[in-house]
Structure formats: C-alpha cells, structure tokens
C-alpha cells in the first residue's frame, strides 16, 4: 500500500468539487473488512496535510472499481457534488471506458455483449447466464479489439451497465479471460496479484461547472505488456 505522499502523483484531475485518481493495482477505493488502508482515507489525510485543514476533510466515493484493477476513480469533495455525481452514475450519465488485456483467442473485431449476471455473496463471484434468469441482472457492454500483441490482445470496452465483476465475467464467458484473473479463468496470475483491467477514460458533465470533462489515465508503469498497449493508442 502506498503512503499518502505518493497520492499527489496519482491525482489526474482536481478542483474545488471533485478529485479523480489513477488507482494502482491492490489499492482499496474505500475501507473494507480487511482493515487495510484505503484510498479514501489516504486522500483525506493527504488533503488535510497539503491544505492545512484544521477539521475533518469531506470526501465521498462516487463509484468503485475492483481492488485488483487499476485506473480512474472519482471522489467528491463536497456533499453537493457527491449527491449530483451519485445520481449521474445511477442515470448512466458518466461514460466509462476500460482497457483489458485478454487471451489471444479468435473473437469478433467488435461486439455488443448482453448477459445476465447473478452475484454469489459467499464466493464474491458473478455467474453469467445467456438468457434472463431469476434474480440475475442484465449486463451490457461494447468492446472492440484495439491491438494485437505477441501473446495477448488489447480490448477497449464501453460499459452500458455497472454490474459486479461485469467486464471480468462477460469476457470470460466468451472465452477471453483477462490476463491474471484466476477467478474468471485466466491460466496464470500476475506477479503483483492484480489483473490487466484498467479504467482508462471517463467522460461526463461536471456536476457544478457544467463543463464537459474528459479524463484519461496512463496505464500502470513498469509493466511491459501495458507499455506495449499504450504505444500508438
């Protein structure tokens, strides 16, 4: 886990209303039962020290990404921004684009995937159904192949819904598990315990200024596969 001084290098956008961070693999977006330090706490601590704030720092998590993934996460710095952004997430007004490095199997160049996902709370895993199933939620995404690598391929994914482990489960269902994702069928783990799924881009209307915001997160550094993905993209 990173110390708070390194938080500064992870911030990709910040103003008086919100802060967007490029999460590292393994970082928690907010506290959980593990008791490990979370980005929510680290950022609060960082802002308190940097801005020399005497009282508590307000910071609210707008949406989550899984611990083994990397990429963009939005935090709200005011209650007004948090309320508006949370509503925007519900209304699907925040466009989320992911990059995923997957097995080099033959799949269509681009495709819209619609499945039905049922989350198992005990195993923390989603089961994928092709047809509507009781208690399963509809999950939809669009992908396109961006690049062919030596042993893998890079997909760009636009999410229509935000289900539990959605991208991981849906890609696994069509036979292209994400690199390092043992839970969903990858043959080998990554050395850092993460998976090659990166929240690459966010686009939305700023909840207060009403400007159109587009934020892009660099891929994880010190990883040769990710480095190969970013060339020419």
Q: Give the whole-angstrom CA distance, residue 39 versus residue 69.
A: 14
Provide the 3-class DSSP secondary structure of residue 190.
coil
For residue 197, CA distances in Å to 2, 53, 168 come to 20, 35, 8
66 labelled catalytic:
yes
Domain range enclosing 70: 4-230
Radius of gyration for the alpha carbons in the chain, expressed in angstroms and rounded: 18
Output the tens digit of pLDDT for each of the chain's 233 residues.
Answer: 344 448 999 999 999 999 999 999 999 998 877 778 899 999 999 999 999 988 889 999 999 899 999 999 999 999 999 999 999 999 999 999 999 999 999 999 999 999 999 999 889 899 999 999 999 999 999 999 999 998 999 999 999 998 999 999 999 999 999 999 999 999 999 999 999 999 999 999 999 999 999 999 999 988 999 999 987 76
- Assign residue 103 the CATH number of its domain: 3.30.2350.10
Which two tokens mark 107?
Answer: 């799949």
Per the structure, how many domains does the chain have?
1
Q: Which of 1, 26, 18 is nearest to 220 (CA)?
A: 26
Catalytic residue among 3, 66, 181, 223: 66
Q: Give the whole-angstrom CA distance, residue 7 versus residue 143.
A: 31
């Amino acid at each position: 886990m990173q110390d708070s001084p390194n938080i500064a290098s992870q911030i990709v956008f910040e103003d008086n209303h919100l802060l967007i961070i490029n999460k590292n693999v393994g970082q928690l977006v907010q506290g959980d039962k593990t008791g490990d330090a979370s980005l929510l706490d680290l950022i609060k601590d960082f802002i308190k020290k940097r801005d020399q704030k005497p009282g508590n720092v307000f910071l609210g998590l707008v949406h989550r990404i899984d611990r083994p993934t990397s990429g963009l996460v939005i935090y709200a710095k005011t209650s007004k921004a948090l309320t508006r952004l949370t509503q925007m997430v519900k209304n699907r007004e925040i466009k989320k684009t992911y990059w995923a490095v997957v097995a080099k199997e033959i799949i269509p160049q681009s495709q819209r995937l619609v499945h039905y996902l049922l989350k198992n709370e005990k195993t923390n895993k989603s089961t994928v159904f092709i047809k509507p199933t009781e208690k399963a939620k509809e999950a939809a995404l669009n992908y396109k192949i961006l690049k062919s690598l030596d042993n893998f391929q890079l997909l760009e994914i636009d999410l229509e819904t935000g289900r539990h482990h959605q991208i991981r489960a849906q890609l696994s269902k069509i036979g292209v598990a994400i690199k390092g994702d043992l839970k969903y069928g990858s043959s080998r783990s990554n050395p850092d315990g993460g998976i090659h799924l990166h929240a690459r881009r966010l686009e939305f209307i700023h909840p207060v200024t009403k400007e159109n915001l587009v934020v892009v997160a660099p891929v994880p550094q010190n990883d040769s596969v990710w480095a190969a993905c970013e060339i020419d993209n």
